[in-house]
Structure 1
Amino acid sequence: MGAVIKETKADKIFNIFNISFLFIALVVVLYPLIYIVSASVSDPSQVNSGEMWLLPKGFTLEGYKLIFENDQIWRGYLNTIFYTVLGTLINLAVTLPAAYALARKDFVGRGFLTGLFVLTMFFSGGLIPTYLLVKDLGLIDTVWAMVLPNAAAVWNIIICRIFFQVTIPTELEESARMDGCSNFKMFMKIVLPLSAPIIAVMALFYGVGHWNGYFNALIYLSDKNLYPLQLVLREILVMQEMSSSATNISESMATALHSKEQLAAIIKYGVMIVSTLPIIIVYPFLQRYFVKGVMIGSLKG
Protein backbone atom coordinates (compact mmCIF):
# COMPACT_ATOMS: atom_id res chain seq x y z
CA MET A 1 0.00 0.00 0.00
CA GLY A 2 1.19 3.51 -0.76
CA ALA A 3 2.04 5.95 1.94
CA VAL A 4 -0.89 7.94 3.29
CA ILE A 5 -0.37 11.66 3.05
CA LYS A 6 -1.42 13.35 6.27
CA GLU A 7 -3.17 16.68 6.12
CA THR A 8 -1.39 19.58 7.71
CA LYS A 9 -3.12 22.11 9.92
CA ALA A 10 -3.13 24.59 7.03
CA ASP A 11 -4.78 22.00 4.76
CA LYS A 12 -7.51 21.35 7.34
CA ILE A 13 -8.18 25.07 7.74
CA PHE A 14 -8.34 25.50 3.95
CA ASN A 15 -10.74 22.54 3.59
CA ILE A 16 -13.02 23.91 6.31
CA PHE A 17 -13.04 27.34 4.65
CA ASN A 18 -13.59 25.80 1.21
CA ILE A 19 -16.48 23.58 2.36
CA SER A 20 -18.08 26.49 4.24
CA PHE A 21 -17.85 28.75 1.21
CA LEU A 22 -19.32 26.08 -1.08
CA PHE A 23 -22.16 25.46 1.39
CA ILE A 24 -23.01 29.18 1.49
CA ALA A 25 -22.88 29.34 -2.32
CA LEU A 26 -25.18 26.29 -2.50
CA VAL A 27 -27.71 27.94 -0.17
CA VAL A 28 -27.61 31.21 -2.15
CA VAL A 29 -28.22 29.38 -5.43
CA LEU A 30 -30.65 26.76 -4.15
CA TYR A 31 -32.94 28.95 -2.04
CA PRO A 32 -34.50 30.92 -4.95
CA LEU A 33 -35.14 27.67 -6.82
CA ILE A 34 -36.85 26.05 -3.82
CA TYR A 35 -38.81 29.25 -3.18
CA ILE A 36 -40.13 29.41 -6.76
CA VAL A 37 -41.14 25.73 -6.72
CA SER A 38 -42.85 26.13 -3.34
CA ALA A 39 -44.58 29.36 -4.33
CA SER A 40 -45.97 27.76 -7.48
CA VAL A 41 -47.97 25.26 -5.38
CA SER A 42 -48.82 27.53 -2.44
CA ASP A 43 -51.76 29.77 -1.60
CA PRO A 44 -50.95 33.14 -3.27
CA SER A 45 -52.24 35.11 -0.28
CA GLN A 46 -49.71 33.38 1.98
CA VAL A 47 -46.95 33.94 -0.58
CA ASN A 48 -47.75 37.66 -0.91
CA SER A 49 -47.97 38.13 2.85
CA GLY A 50 -44.58 36.51 3.40
CA GLU A 51 -45.90 33.57 5.42
CA MET A 52 -44.44 31.17 2.87
CA TRP A 53 -40.66 31.61 2.80
CA LEU A 54 -39.33 28.11 2.01
CA LEU A 55 -41.75 25.17 2.04
CA PRO A 56 -45.24 25.21 0.46
CA LYS A 57 -48.18 26.49 2.50
CA GLY A 58 -51.79 26.08 1.51
CA PHE A 59 -50.94 23.50 -1.17
CA THR A 60 -52.80 24.07 -4.42
CA LEU A 61 -52.34 23.20 -8.09
CA GLU A 62 -54.71 25.95 -9.23
CA GLY A 63 -51.81 27.88 -10.76
CA TYR A 64 -50.79 25.01 -13.02
CA LYS A 65 -54.43 24.40 -13.90
CA LEU A 66 -54.76 28.02 -15.03
CA ILE A 67 -51.50 27.75 -16.98
CA PHE A 68 -52.68 24.68 -18.88
CA GLU A 69 -56.02 26.36 -19.61
CA ASN A 70 -54.50 29.68 -20.74
CA ASP A 71 -54.29 29.87 -24.53
CA GLN A 72 -52.03 32.92 -24.44
CA ILE A 73 -49.40 31.12 -22.38
CA TRP A 74 -49.44 28.06 -24.64
CA ARG A 75 -49.29 30.27 -27.74
CA GLY A 76 -46.29 32.06 -26.26
CA TYR A 77 -44.74 28.71 -25.40
CA LEU A 78 -45.09 27.44 -28.97
CA ASN A 79 -43.80 30.76 -30.35
CA THR A 80 -40.73 30.56 -28.12
CA ILE A 81 -40.00 26.99 -29.20
CA PHE A 82 -40.34 28.01 -32.84
CA TYR A 83 -38.12 31.10 -32.41
CA THR A 84 -35.52 29.07 -30.54
CA VAL A 85 -35.30 26.27 -33.10
CA LEU A 86 -35.39 28.53 -36.17
CA GLY A 87 -33.11 31.16 -34.65
CA THR A 88 -30.53 28.61 -33.51
CA LEU A 89 -30.44 26.98 -36.96
CA ILE A 90 -29.91 30.39 -38.59
CA ASN A 91 -27.21 31.25 -36.02
CA LEU A 92 -25.32 28.03 -36.73
CA ALA A 93 -25.74 28.44 -40.49
CA VAL A 94 -24.09 31.87 -40.27
CA THR A 95 -21.55 31.37 -37.46
CA LEU A 96 -19.91 28.09 -38.50
CA PRO A 97 -19.15 28.94 -42.17
CA ALA A 98 -17.94 32.43 -41.19
CA ALA A 99 -15.66 31.00 -38.50
CA TYR A 100 -14.26 28.33 -40.82
CA ALA A 101 -13.54 30.87 -43.54
CA LEU A 102 -11.67 33.09 -41.07
CA ALA A 103 -9.75 30.06 -39.81
CA ARG A 104 -8.40 29.21 -43.27
CA LYS A 105 -4.81 30.39 -43.69
CA ASP A 106 -5.24 30.69 -47.47
CA PHE A 107 -8.18 33.08 -47.12
CA VAL A 108 -6.97 36.46 -48.35
CA GLY A 109 -7.93 39.38 -46.11
CA ARG A 110 -9.05 37.26 -43.15
CA GLY A 111 -7.16 39.48 -40.70
CA PHE A 112 -8.85 42.62 -42.02
CA LEU A 113 -12.30 41.03 -41.92
CA THR A 114 -11.70 39.71 -38.41
CA GLY A 115 -10.81 43.25 -37.35
CA LEU A 116 -14.07 44.55 -38.83
CA PHE A 117 -16.02 41.89 -36.97
CA VAL A 118 -14.30 42.70 -33.69
CA LEU A 119 -14.97 46.41 -34.25
CA THR A 120 -18.72 45.73 -34.09
CA MET A 121 -18.26 44.36 -30.57
CA PHE A 122 -17.24 47.83 -29.36
CA PHE A 123 -19.27 50.11 -31.64
CA SER A 124 -22.80 49.62 -32.92
CA GLY A 125 -25.38 51.70 -34.74
CA GLY A 126 -27.58 52.00 -31.66
CA LEU A 127 -31.17 51.05 -30.97
CA ILE A 128 -32.94 53.67 -33.11
CA PRO A 129 -30.95 53.05 -36.34
CA THR A 130 -31.36 49.31 -35.80
CA TYR A 131 -35.11 49.70 -35.37
CA LEU A 132 -35.35 51.87 -38.51
CA LEU A 133 -33.40 49.26 -40.47
CA VAL A 134 -35.65 46.44 -39.31
CA LYS A 135 -38.68 48.58 -40.14
CA ASP A 136 -37.40 49.46 -43.64
CA LEU A 137 -36.79 45.76 -44.30
CA GLY A 138 -40.45 45.09 -43.49
CA LEU A 139 -39.69 42.81 -40.55
CA ILE A 140 -41.86 44.56 -37.95
CA ASP A 141 -44.53 42.23 -36.56
CA THR A 142 -43.06 39.21 -38.32
CA VAL A 143 -41.28 36.08 -37.19
CA TRP A 144 -38.07 37.26 -38.90
CA ALA A 145 -37.76 40.21 -36.53
CA MET A 146 -37.02 37.66 -33.80
CA VAL A 147 -34.32 35.69 -35.59
CA LEU A 148 -32.57 37.82 -38.23
CA PRO A 149 -31.31 40.92 -36.31
CA ASN A 150 -29.15 38.66 -34.10
CA ALA A 151 -28.23 36.08 -36.73
CA ALA A 152 -24.63 35.87 -35.47
CA ALA A 153 -22.56 36.87 -32.46
CA VAL A 154 -19.00 37.97 -33.14
CA TRP A 155 -17.69 36.42 -29.93
CA ASN A 156 -19.12 33.03 -30.92
CA ILE A 157 -17.57 33.35 -34.38
CA ILE A 158 -14.18 33.96 -32.76
CA ILE A 159 -14.60 30.94 -30.47
CA CYS A 160 -15.50 28.71 -33.43
CA ARG A 161 -12.58 30.08 -35.46
CA ILE A 162 -10.14 29.19 -32.68
CA PHE A 163 -11.70 25.72 -32.44
CA PHE A 164 -11.22 25.10 -36.15
CA GLN A 165 -7.63 26.36 -36.02
CA VAL A 166 -6.53 24.13 -33.13
CA THR A 167 -8.68 21.06 -33.84
CA ILE A 168 -8.84 20.47 -37.60
CA PRO A 169 -5.38 19.29 -38.77
CA THR A 170 -3.93 21.15 -41.73
CA GLU A 171 -2.66 17.82 -43.10
CA LEU A 172 -6.25 16.54 -43.25
CA GLU A 173 -7.33 19.50 -45.35
CA GLU A 174 -4.33 19.12 -47.66
CA SER A 175 -5.04 15.41 -48.11
CA ALA A 176 -8.68 16.11 -48.93
CA ARG A 177 -7.66 18.79 -51.42
CA MET A 178 -5.29 16.38 -53.15
CA ASP A 179 -8.20 13.96 -53.56
CA GLY A 180 -10.14 16.68 -55.37
CA CYS A 181 -12.34 17.77 -52.50
CA SER A 182 -13.80 21.26 -52.90
CA ASN A 183 -13.89 23.78 -50.06
CA PHE A 184 -17.64 23.36 -49.64
CA LYS A 185 -17.47 19.58 -49.58
CA MET A 186 -14.53 19.71 -47.17
CA PHE A 187 -16.55 21.88 -44.82
CA MET A 188 -19.68 19.72 -45.03
CA LYS A 189 -18.12 16.23 -45.14
CA ILE A 190 -14.97 16.64 -43.00
CA VAL A 191 -15.04 19.75 -40.80
CA LEU A 192 -18.61 19.61 -39.50
CA PRO A 193 -18.55 15.90 -38.48
CA LEU A 194 -15.37 16.61 -36.49
CA SER A 195 -16.89 19.68 -34.84
CA ALA A 196 -19.71 18.14 -32.79
CA PRO A 197 -18.43 19.63 -29.48
CA ILE A 198 -18.34 23.23 -30.69
CA ILE A 199 -21.64 22.83 -32.56
CA ALA A 200 -23.29 21.63 -29.34
CA VAL A 201 -21.77 24.52 -27.38
CA MET A 202 -22.93 27.10 -29.91
CA ALA A 203 -26.39 25.53 -30.11
CA LEU A 204 -26.64 25.74 -26.32
CA PHE A 205 -25.41 29.35 -26.20
CA TYR A 206 -27.72 30.54 -28.98
CA GLY A 207 -30.66 28.39 -27.86
CA VAL A 208 -30.61 29.72 -24.30
CA GLY A 209 -30.32 33.26 -25.65
CA HIS A 210 -33.38 32.82 -27.86
CA TRP A 211 -35.35 31.06 -25.14
CA ASN A 212 -34.74 33.83 -22.60
CA GLY A 213 -34.89 36.71 -25.06
CA TYR A 214 -37.72 39.22 -24.86
CA PHE A 215 -36.21 42.59 -25.80
CA ASN A 216 -36.54 42.11 -29.57
CA ALA A 217 -40.15 41.06 -29.09
CA LEU A 218 -40.77 44.10 -26.90
CA ILE A 219 -39.36 46.42 -29.58
CA TYR A 220 -40.47 44.80 -32.83
CA LEU A 221 -43.73 43.00 -32.04
CA SER A 222 -47.16 44.44 -31.31
CA ASP A 223 -49.19 41.41 -32.39
CA LYS A 224 -49.85 39.37 -29.25
CA ASN A 225 -50.20 36.23 -31.35
CA LEU A 226 -46.46 36.48 -32.02
CA TYR A 227 -45.42 37.13 -28.42
CA PRO A 228 -42.82 34.70 -27.00
CA LEU A 229 -43.33 33.17 -23.58
CA GLN A 230 -40.98 35.62 -21.85
CA LEU A 231 -43.05 38.58 -23.03
CA VAL A 232 -46.25 36.86 -21.87
CA LEU A 233 -44.63 36.37 -18.47
CA ARG A 234 -43.60 40.03 -18.43
CA GLU A 235 -47.20 41.09 -19.05
CA ILE A 236 -48.31 38.93 -16.13
CA LEU A 237 -45.78 40.58 -13.82
CA VAL A 238 -46.66 44.08 -15.05
CA MET A 239 -50.36 43.36 -14.54
CA GLN A 240 -49.71 42.30 -10.96
CA GLU A 241 -47.59 45.40 -10.27
CA MET A 242 -50.23 47.73 -11.71
CA SER A 243 -53.01 46.15 -9.68
CA SER A 244 -51.01 46.30 -6.45
CA SER A 245 -50.05 49.96 -6.89
CA ALA A 246 -53.38 51.33 -8.10
CA THR A 247 -54.93 54.10 -5.94
CA ASN A 248 -58.05 56.28 -6.00
CA ILE A 249 -60.18 53.81 -7.91
CA SER A 250 -63.74 52.61 -7.49
CA GLU A 251 -64.61 49.60 -5.38
CA SER A 252 -65.66 47.50 -8.35
CA MET A 253 -62.44 48.32 -10.21
CA ALA A 254 -60.44 47.58 -7.07
CA THR A 255 -62.14 44.18 -6.80
CA ALA A 256 -61.37 43.42 -10.44
CA LEU A 257 -57.76 44.49 -10.09
CA HIS A 258 -57.37 42.45 -6.91
CA SER A 259 -58.78 39.42 -8.71
CA LYS A 260 -56.28 39.91 -11.54
CA GLU A 261 -53.50 40.35 -9.01
CA GLN A 262 -54.37 37.05 -7.36
CA LEU A 263 -54.53 35.39 -10.78
CA ALA A 264 -51.11 36.75 -11.73
CA ALA A 265 -49.64 35.75 -8.37
CA ILE A 266 -50.92 32.20 -8.79
CA ILE A 267 -49.52 31.56 -12.24
CA LYS A 268 -46.33 33.64 -12.42
CA TYR A 269 -44.21 31.18 -10.43
CA GLY A 270 -45.67 28.23 -12.32
CA VAL A 271 -44.85 29.90 -15.62
CA MET A 272 -41.25 30.41 -14.44
CA ILE A 273 -40.93 26.69 -13.84
CA VAL A 274 -42.66 25.69 -17.06
CA SER A 275 -40.52 28.12 -19.07
CA THR A 276 -37.22 26.75 -17.73
CA LEU A 277 -38.04 23.04 -17.96
CA PRO A 278 -36.99 22.58 -21.63
CA ILE A 279 -33.53 24.05 -20.96
CA ILE A 280 -33.13 21.89 -17.87
CA ILE A 281 -34.16 18.80 -19.85
CA VAL A 282 -31.89 19.51 -22.85
CA TYR A 283 -28.76 20.53 -20.93
CA PRO A 284 -27.80 17.05 -19.58
CA PHE A 285 -27.69 15.69 -23.14
CA LEU A 286 -25.35 18.49 -24.26
CA GLN A 287 -23.25 18.67 -21.09
CA ARG A 288 -20.50 16.30 -22.24
CA TYR A 289 -20.10 18.22 -25.50
CA PHE A 290 -20.26 21.51 -23.62
CA VAL A 291 -17.44 20.57 -21.23
CA LYS A 292 -15.32 19.11 -24.05
CA GLY A 293 -15.85 22.13 -26.29
CA VAL A 294 -14.92 24.59 -23.54
CA MET A 295 -11.77 22.65 -22.54
CA ILE A 296 -10.37 22.10 -26.02
CA GLY A 297 -8.87 25.57 -26.31
CA SER A 298 -7.27 25.37 -22.86
CA LEU A 299 -5.68 21.99 -23.61
CA LYS A 300 -4.34 22.72 -27.09
CA GLY A 301 -4.18 26.52 -27.28
Structure 2
Amino acid sequence: MMMGQADFLEDLLRKLPGPDFEAADAVMRRQAQLTKPPGSLGLLEEGVEWLARWQRRDMPRLDQVDVLVFAGNHGVTAQGVSPYPASVTEQMVANFQANGAAVNQIARAVGASFSVVPLQLERPTADFTQAPAMTPLEFRAALRVGYEAVVPGTDLLCLGEMGIGNTTAAAALCLALFGGSAADWAGRGTGLDAAGVAHKADVVQRAVAFHAEARYEPWEIARRLGGRETAAILGAVLAARRHSIPVLLDGFVCSAAAAPLIKLLADGLDHTMIGHVSAEAGHRRLVAELHRPALLALDMRLGEASGAALAVSILRAAVACHSGMATFAEAQVDDRT
Protein backbone atom coordinates (compact mmCIF):
# COMPACT_ATOMS: atom_id res chain seq x y z
CA MET A 1 0.00 0.00 0.00
CA MET A 2 1.40 3.38 -1.00
CA MET A 3 2.84 5.81 1.57
CA GLY A 4 0.24 8.27 2.79
CA GLN A 5 -2.55 5.79 2.24
CA ALA A 6 -1.71 3.89 5.44
CA ASP A 7 -1.45 7.17 7.36
CA PHE A 8 -4.87 8.25 6.10
CA LEU A 9 -6.45 4.95 7.14
CA GLU A 10 -4.82 5.04 10.56
CA ASP A 11 -6.09 8.59 11.06
CA LEU A 12 -9.63 7.35 10.51
CA LEU A 13 -9.25 4.92 13.42
CA ARG A 14 -7.34 7.18 15.80
CA LYS A 15 -9.08 8.34 19.01
CA LEU A 16 -12.58 7.29 18.07
CA PRO A 17 -14.90 8.23 20.95
CA GLY A 18 -16.31 5.47 23.10
CA PRO A 19 -19.77 5.16 24.62
CA ASP A 20 -21.22 7.42 27.32
CA PHE A 21 -21.91 4.96 30.13
CA GLU A 22 -23.30 7.65 32.43
CA ALA A 23 -26.05 8.43 29.91
CA ALA A 24 -26.80 4.73 29.57
CA ASP A 25 -26.97 4.34 33.36
CA ALA A 26 -29.43 7.23 33.55
CA VAL A 27 -31.64 5.47 31.02
CA MET A 28 -31.57 2.25 33.00
CA ARG A 29 -32.44 4.06 36.25
CA ARG A 30 -35.47 5.58 34.57
CA GLN A 31 -36.43 2.26 33.00
CA ALA A 32 -36.47 0.71 36.48
CA GLN A 33 -39.09 3.27 37.59
CA LEU A 34 -41.48 2.97 34.63
CA THR A 35 -44.83 1.21 34.98
CA LYS A 36 -43.83 -2.18 33.61
CA PRO A 37 -42.04 -5.30 34.80
CA PRO A 38 -38.25 -5.00 34.46
CA GLY A 39 -37.07 -5.87 30.95
CA SER A 40 -40.59 -6.44 29.66
CA LEU A 41 -40.07 -4.19 26.61
CA GLY A 42 -37.11 -6.30 25.55
CA LEU A 43 -35.16 -4.88 22.64
CA LEU A 44 -37.01 -1.55 22.92
CA GLU A 45 -35.26 -0.98 26.24
CA GLU A 46 -31.92 -2.04 24.79
CA GLY A 47 -32.49 0.30 21.85
CA VAL A 48 -33.08 3.34 24.07
CA GLU A 49 -30.01 2.56 26.14
CA TRP A 50 -27.96 2.17 22.93
CA LEU A 51 -29.20 5.52 21.60
CA ALA A 52 -28.34 7.25 24.88
CA ARG A 53 -24.92 5.65 25.00
CA TRP A 54 -23.93 6.88 21.55
CA GLN A 55 -25.86 10.17 21.39
CA ARG A 56 -24.33 10.95 24.79
CA ARG A 57 -27.71 12.08 26.16
CA ASP A 58 -29.66 11.00 29.24
CA MET A 59 -32.86 11.35 27.21
CA PRO A 60 -32.25 10.23 23.62
CA ARG A 61 -34.07 11.92 20.77
CA LEU A 62 -34.80 11.28 17.11
CA ASP A 63 -35.47 14.78 15.80
CA GLN A 64 -33.05 14.45 12.88
CA VAL A 65 -32.92 11.02 11.26
CA ASP A 66 -31.04 10.72 7.98
CA VAL A 67 -31.28 7.89 5.44
CA LEU A 68 -28.20 7.86 3.24
CA VAL A 69 -27.77 5.57 0.23
CA PHE A 70 -24.53 5.21 -1.72
CA ALA A 71 -24.54 3.87 -5.29
CA GLY A 72 -21.72 2.31 -7.29
CA ASN A 73 -21.11 -0.01 -10.23
CA HIS A 74 -19.02 -3.19 -10.21
CA GLY A 75 -16.71 -4.56 -12.87
CA VAL A 76 -17.37 -8.09 -11.66
CA THR A 77 -20.72 -7.95 -13.47
CA ALA A 78 -18.68 -8.92 -16.55
CA GLN A 79 -18.66 -12.40 -15.01
CA GLY A 80 -22.43 -12.74 -15.43
CA VAL A 81 -23.31 -12.59 -11.72
CA SER A 82 -26.50 -10.54 -12.09
CA PRO A 83 -29.54 -10.84 -14.35
CA TYR A 84 -29.70 -7.03 -14.58
CA PRO A 85 -27.33 -4.75 -16.51
CA ALA A 86 -25.20 -2.15 -14.75
CA SER A 87 -27.33 0.60 -16.33
CA VAL A 88 -30.00 -0.18 -13.72
CA THR A 89 -27.85 1.40 -11.02
CA GLU A 90 -28.00 4.84 -12.64
CA GLN A 91 -31.68 4.41 -13.46
CA MET A 92 -32.48 3.55 -9.85
CA VAL A 93 -30.51 6.56 -8.62
CA ALA A 94 -32.78 8.71 -10.81
CA ASN A 95 -35.75 6.91 -9.29
CA PHE A 96 -34.51 7.71 -5.78
CA GLN A 97 -34.03 11.33 -6.73
CA ALA A 98 -37.61 11.43 -8.08
CA ASN A 99 -38.94 9.91 -4.83
CA GLY A 100 -40.14 6.83 -6.68
CA ALA A 101 -38.46 4.00 -4.78
CA ALA A 102 -39.63 1.97 -1.80
CA VAL A 103 -37.11 3.61 0.51
CA ASN A 104 -38.47 7.06 -0.34
CA GLN A 105 -41.90 6.02 0.87
CA ILE A 106 -40.55 4.34 4.01
CA ALA A 107 -38.35 7.31 4.89
CA ARG A 108 -41.33 9.63 4.56
CA ALA A 109 -43.48 7.33 6.68
CA VAL A 110 -40.96 7.23 9.55
CA GLY A 111 -40.12 10.95 9.44
CA ALA A 112 -36.60 10.66 8.06
CA SER A 113 -34.76 12.70 5.46
CA PHE A 114 -33.37 10.86 2.44
CA SER A 115 -30.41 11.38 0.13
CA VAL A 116 -28.54 9.30 -2.43
CA VAL A 117 -24.89 9.70 -3.36
CA PRO A 118 -23.76 8.15 -6.68
CA LEU A 119 -20.06 7.36 -6.99
CA GLN A 120 -18.69 7.46 -10.56
CA LEU A 121 -21.41 5.23 -11.99
CA GLU A 122 -20.02 5.72 -15.47
CA ARG A 123 -16.77 4.04 -14.40
CA PRO A 124 -17.29 0.66 -12.71
CA THR A 125 -14.67 -0.75 -10.40
CA ALA A 126 -12.25 -3.28 -11.86
CA ASP A 127 -13.34 -6.91 -12.16
CA PHE A 128 -11.98 -8.20 -8.87
CA THR A 129 -11.50 -11.72 -10.22
CA GLN A 130 -8.62 -10.24 -12.24
CA ALA A 131 -7.39 -7.17 -10.31
CA PRO A 132 -8.10 -5.18 -7.15
CA ALA A 133 -11.50 -3.50 -7.43
CA MET A 134 -10.01 -0.11 -6.59
CA THR A 135 -6.60 1.49 -6.60
CA PRO A 136 -5.47 2.88 -3.23
CA LEU A 137 -6.38 6.41 -4.39
CA GLU A 138 -9.83 5.31 -5.59
CA PHE A 139 -10.47 3.53 -2.31
CA ARG A 140 -9.39 6.54 -0.29
CA ALA A 141 -11.61 8.84 -2.39
CA ALA A 142 -14.66 6.62 -1.86
CA LEU A 143 -14.02 6.44 1.88
CA ARG A 144 -13.81 10.21 1.97
CA VAL A 145 -17.09 10.63 0.08
CA GLY A 146 -18.84 8.51 2.69
CA TYR A 147 -17.10 10.21 5.59
CA GLU A 148 -17.98 13.69 4.41
CA ALA A 149 -21.61 12.80 3.63
CA VAL A 150 -22.41 12.42 7.34
CA VAL A 151 -23.86 15.56 8.93
CA PRO A 152 -22.65 16.23 12.49
CA GLY A 153 -25.54 16.62 14.93
CA THR A 154 -27.67 13.94 13.26
CA ASP A 155 -29.54 11.89 15.87
CA LEU A 156 -29.61 8.62 13.91
CA LEU A 157 -28.08 7.59 10.60
CA CYS A 158 -29.54 4.84 8.39
CA LEU A 159 -27.17 3.50 5.75
CA GLY A 160 -27.86 1.58 2.54
CA GLU A 161 -26.65 0.99 -1.00
CA MET A 162 -27.54 0.49 -4.62
CA GLY A 163 -25.34 -1.22 -7.18
CA ILE A 164 -25.79 -4.06 -9.63
CA GLY A 165 -23.26 -6.74 -8.68
CA ASN A 166 -22.84 -5.64 -5.08
CA THR A 167 -24.19 -8.82 -3.48
CA THR A 168 -21.29 -10.59 -5.21
CA ALA A 169 -18.91 -8.05 -3.69
CA ALA A 170 -20.56 -8.50 -0.28
CA ALA A 171 -20.22 -12.29 -0.50
CA ALA A 172 -16.54 -11.94 -1.40
CA LEU A 173 -15.95 -9.54 1.51
CA CYS A 174 -17.61 -11.96 3.93
CA LEU A 175 -15.71 -14.99 2.67
CA ALA A 176 -12.39 -13.14 2.95
CA LEU A 177 -13.16 -11.74 6.40
CA PHE A 178 -14.94 -14.66 8.07
CA GLY A 179 -14.13 -17.79 6.10
CA GLY A 180 -16.44 -20.67 5.34
CA SER A 181 -17.26 -21.48 1.74
CA ALA A 182 -18.44 -19.23 -1.06
CA ALA A 183 -21.75 -21.12 -1.04
CA ASP A 184 -22.31 -19.90 2.55
CA TRP A 185 -22.33 -16.31 1.38
CA ALA A 186 -23.54 -16.21 -2.24
CA GLY A 187 -27.30 -15.79 -2.65
CA ARG A 188 -29.95 -14.89 -5.19
CA GLY A 189 -29.22 -11.15 -5.25
CA THR A 190 -31.57 -9.56 -7.76
CA GLY A 191 -33.15 -12.89 -8.72
CA LEU A 192 -30.65 -15.54 -9.82
CA ASP A 193 -31.82 -19.11 -10.27
CA ALA A 194 -29.98 -22.07 -8.69
CA ALA A 195 -27.50 -22.32 -11.55
CA GLY A 196 -26.86 -18.59 -11.34
CA VAL A 197 -26.20 -18.77 -7.60
CA ALA A 198 -23.76 -21.65 -8.13
CA HIS A 199 -21.92 -19.62 -10.79
CA LYS A 200 -21.87 -16.60 -8.47
CA ALA A 201 -20.35 -18.72 -5.68
CA ASP A 202 -17.65 -19.92 -8.08
CA VAL A 203 -16.85 -16.31 -9.03
CA VAL A 204 -16.63 -15.35 -5.35
CA GLN A 205 -14.37 -18.32 -4.58
CA ARG A 206 -12.04 -17.45 -7.45
CA ALA A 207 -11.92 -13.79 -6.45
CA VAL A 208 -10.99 -14.47 -2.84
CA ALA A 209 -8.35 -16.99 -3.92
CA PHE A 210 -6.90 -14.43 -6.34
CA HIS A 211 -6.51 -11.94 -3.46
CA ALA A 212 -5.40 -14.50 -0.86
CA GLU A 213 -2.33 -12.44 0.06
CA ALA A 214 -4.63 -9.78 1.56
CA ARG A 215 -6.84 -12.15 3.54
CA TYR A 216 -5.68 -10.90 6.96
CA GLU A 217 -5.64 -7.20 6.06
CA PRO A 218 -9.15 -5.74 6.47
CA TRP A 219 -8.41 -2.47 4.68
CA GLU A 220 -7.00 -4.36 1.72
CA ILE A 221 -9.97 -6.73 1.65
CA ALA A 222 -12.29 -3.72 1.50
CA ARG A 223 -10.25 -2.16 -1.31
CA ARG A 224 -9.71 -5.27 -3.40
CA LEU A 225 -13.13 -6.96 -3.07
CA GLY A 226 -15.56 -4.14 -2.35
CA GLY A 227 -16.99 -1.33 -4.40
CA ARG A 228 -17.03 2.44 -4.23
CA GLU A 229 -20.40 2.36 -2.46
CA THR A 230 -19.26 -0.22 0.11
CA ALA A 231 -16.13 1.85 0.80
CA ALA A 232 -18.33 4.93 1.21
CA ILE A 233 -20.52 3.08 3.73
CA LEU A 234 -17.38 2.16 5.68
CA GLY A 235 -16.33 5.82 5.66
CA ALA A 236 -19.79 6.91 6.82
CA VAL A 237 -19.75 4.40 9.70
CA LEU A 238 -16.41 5.81 10.83
CA ALA A 239 -17.64 9.42 10.53
CA ALA A 240 -20.73 8.58 12.55
CA ARG A 241 -18.55 7.16 15.32
CA ARG A 242 -16.41 10.29 15.24
CA HIS A 243 -19.50 12.51 15.59
CA SER A 244 -21.29 10.34 18.20
CA ILE A 245 -24.11 9.34 15.84
CA PRO A 246 -25.70 5.90 16.24
CA VAL A 247 -26.11 3.98 12.99
CA LEU A 248 -28.68 1.55 11.63
CA LEU A 249 -27.13 -0.69 9.01
CA ASP A 250 -29.37 -2.13 6.31
CA GLY A 251 -29.16 -5.70 5.02
CA PHE A 252 -26.47 -8.00 3.64
CA VAL A 253 -24.47 -5.61 1.46
CA CYS A 254 -24.50 -2.76 3.96
CA SER A 255 -23.54 -5.04 6.85
CA ALA A 256 -20.72 -6.56 4.76
CA ALA A 257 -19.49 -3.07 3.85
CA ALA A 258 -19.14 -2.20 7.54
CA ALA A 259 -17.70 -5.60 8.52
CA PRO A 260 -13.99 -4.79 8.02
CA LEU A 261 -14.25 -2.37 10.94
CA ILE A 262 -14.89 -5.16 13.43
CA LYS A 263 -11.67 -6.79 12.28
CA LEU A 264 -9.80 -3.51 12.74
CA LEU A 265 -11.28 -2.62 16.16
CA ALA A 266 -13.00 -5.05 18.51
CA ASP A 267 -15.59 -2.41 19.44
CA GLY A 268 -15.63 -0.77 16.02
CA LEU A 269 -19.30 -1.46 15.33
CA ASP A 270 -20.67 -0.96 18.84
CA HIS A 271 -22.37 2.27 17.73
CA THR A 272 -24.36 0.32 15.12
CA MET A 273 -27.44 -1.85 15.12
CA ILE A 274 -28.72 -3.82 12.14
CA GLY A 275 -32.10 -2.68 10.88
CA HIS A 276 -33.24 -6.08 9.72
CA VAL A 277 -32.12 -9.63 9.00
CA SER A 278 -32.26 -9.88 5.23
CA ALA A 279 -33.65 -12.85 3.33
CA GLU A 280 -30.43 -12.80 1.28
CA ALA A 281 -28.39 -15.93 1.90
CA GLY A 282 -25.56 -15.29 4.32
CA HIS A 283 -26.96 -12.31 6.17
CA ARG A 284 -28.09 -14.21 9.27
CA ARG A 285 -24.63 -15.72 9.48
CA LEU A 286 -23.06 -12.28 9.04
CA VAL A 287 -25.25 -10.79 11.78
CA ALA A 288 -23.90 -13.46 14.14
CA GLU A 289 -20.31 -12.64 13.13
CA LEU A 290 -20.85 -8.93 13.79
CA HIS A 291 -22.37 -9.49 17.26
CA ARG A 292 -24.87 -6.70 16.74
CA PRO A 293 -28.62 -6.92 17.38
CA ALA A 294 -31.06 -6.83 14.47
CA LEU A 295 -34.42 -5.13 15.00
CA LEU A 296 -36.60 -6.73 12.31
CA ALA A 297 -36.90 -9.92 10.27
CA LEU A 298 -39.49 -9.39 7.53
CA ASP A 299 -38.12 -11.53 4.68
CA MET A 300 -36.93 -8.39 2.87
CA ARG A 301 -33.95 -8.36 0.47
CA LEU A 302 -34.39 -5.11 -1.42
CA GLY A 303 -31.38 -3.19 -0.14
CA GLU A 304 -31.42 0.60 -0.67
CA ALA A 305 -31.63 1.15 3.15
CA SER A 306 -35.26 -0.01 3.14
CA GLY A 307 -34.90 -2.28 6.18
CA ALA A 308 -32.83 0.23 8.15
CA ALA A 309 -35.35 2.99 7.44
CA LEU A 310 -38.25 0.78 8.46
CA ALA A 311 -36.52 -0.01 11.77
CA VAL A 312 -36.60 3.70 12.65
CA SER A 313 -40.25 3.15 13.56
CA ILE A 314 -39.17 0.65 16.23
CA LEU A 315 -36.69 3.07 17.76
CA ARG A 316 -39.23 5.91 17.65
CA ALA A 317 -41.63 3.70 19.62
CA ALA A 318 -38.84 2.85 22.06
CA VAL A 319 -38.01 6.52 22.67
CA ALA A 320 -41.69 7.39 23.03
CA CYS A 321 -42.18 4.71 25.67
CA HIS A 322 -39.07 5.77 27.53
CA SER A 323 -39.90 9.48 27.57
CA GLY A 324 -43.68 9.28 27.83
CA MET A 325 -44.48 6.44 30.21
CA ALA A 326 -45.39 7.28 33.78
CA THR A 327 -43.27 6.09 36.66
CA PHE A 328 -44.80 3.95 39.39
CA ALA A 329 -44.85 7.01 41.67
CA GLU A 330 -46.49 9.27 39.07
CA ALA A 331 -49.18 6.72 38.25
CA GLN A 332 -49.65 5.73 41.90
CA VAL A 333 -49.11 2.09 40.97
CA ASP A 334 -47.52 -0.22 43.52
CA ASP A 335 -43.99 -1.24 42.59
CA ARG A 336 -42.48 -4.59 43.47
CA THR A 337 -42.15 -5.26 47.18
Same fold by TM-score greater than 0.5: no
TM-score (norm 1): 0.29
The structure having more radius of gyration, on CA atoms, is 1
Give the helix-richer structure, 1 or 2.
1
TM-score (norm 2): 0.27
RCO higher in 1 or 2 (8 Å CA, sep ≥ 6)? 1
